[in-house]
A = this chain, B = another copy of it.
Amino acid sequence: MLECIEQKKTKKTEVQGEIDSLRKELSSLANVVKSKKLPVIITFDGWSAAGKGSQISKLIKNLDPRFYKVVSIRTPDEKEKRKPWLHRYWEVLPKKGEFLILDRSWYRDTVNAYMFGEISKSEYKRRLEDINILERQLSDDGYLIIKFFLHITKKEQRERIEKLASSDITDWRVDRHDIINMESYEKFMRLYDKMIVSTNTKSAVWHIVPANDKVTAEFSELVTVTNSIKGAVAAEESKTQFSEKPELPLAEIKPCIFKTADQPKLADIDMNRSITDEEYEKKLKKYQDKLFKLQNLCYQKRIPVIIAYEGWDAGGKGGNIKRVAAALDPRGYEVKPIAAPEPSELARHYLWRFWTRLENDGHFTIFDRTWYGRVMVEPIEKITPTERAEMAYREINEFEKQLTDWGAVVIKFWINISKDEQYRRFKERENTPEKRWKITDEDWRNREKWDEYETAVNKMIKRTSTDFAPWTVIEGNDKKYARIKALKIICRRLEERLEKD
């Protein structure tokens, strides 16, 4: 496919007028992007020495530097390798109304990583799927993704690299990767072809830019960027989703179907489970000691552990988490309390604040409330429209699958208490001076919607109890029973994971 791309040559004088007016148009479209709060991601991939850097420099001259960020992607460093591979992209996700320009993108992390032996073939395939998921998730959230592949011919590439390498001033710009890219041109071409074909989706179509000639390249990029922005703005105004007319046939993507296990409904849970104080003390010590040892093993094997706590208000999440944390080496975990999102969080994809809170591998990340707010409090409180919230089940399953692929053990608890027990605890909080800060009017208001929440929880458990990230409903009327059960489950899941390693 790439082989058939025609490399036009444009004299600068011929198109200078058009380029100038496109630049001006882009400049004023950037204002529209800002006022319409459209988030834009522009990726530049392509051959070594294809001119990505200089094309980016030209493009950004038309943008307001307060509202864009250029990020250069290189081989991940040691710190980046301790997070899921997509983490470094989530981390730099632009706000609504801002631009992110990637000098090489997740495509570099896939094709080059595979070609340079950093990842296996199956990992390579999985990454391509991850890319389709990422681009779809972002696009569904209103992100405009413009993907450029800068294509140069074999001859042109060789000339450029040799020229760079022959000068003392520029030879540092040619590295081992460039040489391999040049010497295995045909092999790369086949891989690029396949990659482009399998990731040309309606969420993010590919734009192949013939880049032997720099003027032609700039011209074609300006046309694409301005058209895409205009299209996205028009789509936004007519409340439809933006789809570009693809230059290449769209890839057929089989949606990933997540198998979910049956779970009892909340109403069917036996809420009378309890434990004696004596048994509690004994088992608490037993499982905390066990967990401490398991944490050490996970640390050594660099296994990430994600524990997600959800449950009714006053369900006892805090005390439960405290008993888990008490077992752990304090340098190896962090508890992340999740409150209502801040403005900078609302200005991005809702998964952003969870992606960016992940600790390194080998560490525990304990979430006190989680991404499940998206399918519970958000639609119930009308913060998110129902149809957007509906999409989240799949997105959440995908997110948790990606965490699992990273190597993580994902453990999810719903701490369940009866409505009467909640009333008792609310009253107790109100009557205990140092606990009063824990109870707010909002808690009482939420309580009035108990049935609505119960329906949402049942649905959530049903649709997101995957085999890799199953839910455990914990009978929480007896706090001590609940703590032991949580500790037990965590230990069991870690043991299962360690056995596989």
Q: Which residues of A contact B (CB under 8 A)?
A: 28, 31-32, 34-35, 56-57, 60-61, 64-67, 69-70, 72, 79, 101, 103, 318, 321-322, 325-326, 329-331, 333-335, 337, 342-344, 366, 368, 434-437
The residues of B that contact A61 with a CB separation of less than 8 Å are 326
CB within 8 Å for A34 and B437 given contacts A330-B57, A334-B69:
yes
- Count this chain's copies in the assembly: 2
Q: Is the CB of B322 within 8 A of A64?
A: yes
A61 to B335, CA, bound (A): 14
Task: Tell me the bound Cα distance from A482 to B422 in angstroms.
Answer: 64
Docked-complex contact A321 and B31, CB < 8 angstroms: no
Tell me the minimal C-beta distance from A51 to chain B in angstroms.
14
The interface residues of chain B lying within 8 Å CB-to-CB of A31 are: 434-435, 437
- Chain B proximity of A226: nearest CB distance (Å): 14
Q: In the complex, how many angstroms separate the beta carbon of A331 from the nearest chain B beta carbon?
A: 5
Chain B residue numbers with a CB within 8 Å of A65 are 321-322, 325-326, 333, 335, 366
Shortest Cβ gap from A413 to chain B (Å): 15
A66 touches B318 (CB 8 A): yes
Given contacts A322-B64, A342-B343, contact A35 B437 (CB under 8 A): yes
- B434 engages A32 (CB within 8 Å): yes
Q: A64-B318, A65-B326, A66-B321 are in contact. List 15 more A-B contacts (CB 8 A).
A: A28-B434, A31-B437, A35-B436, A57-B329, A57-B330, A60-B325, A65-B322, A65-B325, A65-B335, A66-B337, A66-B368, A67-B337, A72-B331, A79-B79, A342-B343
Report 28 cross-chain contacts, Cβ distance below 8 Å, ordered by A residue: A31-B434, A31-B435, A32-B434, A34-B437, A35-B434, A56-B330, A57-B330, A60-B325, A60-B330, A61-B326, A64-B318, A64-B322, A65-B321, A65-B322, A65-B333, A65-B335, A66-B318, A66-B337, A66-B368, A67-B337, A69-B334, A70-B330, A70-B331, A72-B331, A79-B79, A342-B342, A342-B343, A342-B344
A229 to B146, CA, bound (A): 54
A103 touches B322 (CB 8 A): no
A434, B337: Cα distance in complex, Å? 40
Nearest opposing residue in chain B for A63, CB measure: B322
CA distance A34 to B56 in the complex (A): 48
A60-B334 Cα distance, complex, nearest whole Å: 13
Separation of A298 and B61 alpha carbons in the complex (Å): 22
- Chain B residues near A344 (CB, 8 Å)? 342
Query: Cα distance A60–B67 when bound, in Å?
Result: 42
Q: Within the assembled complex, what's the spacing in Å between the Cα atoms of A72 and B333?
A: 12
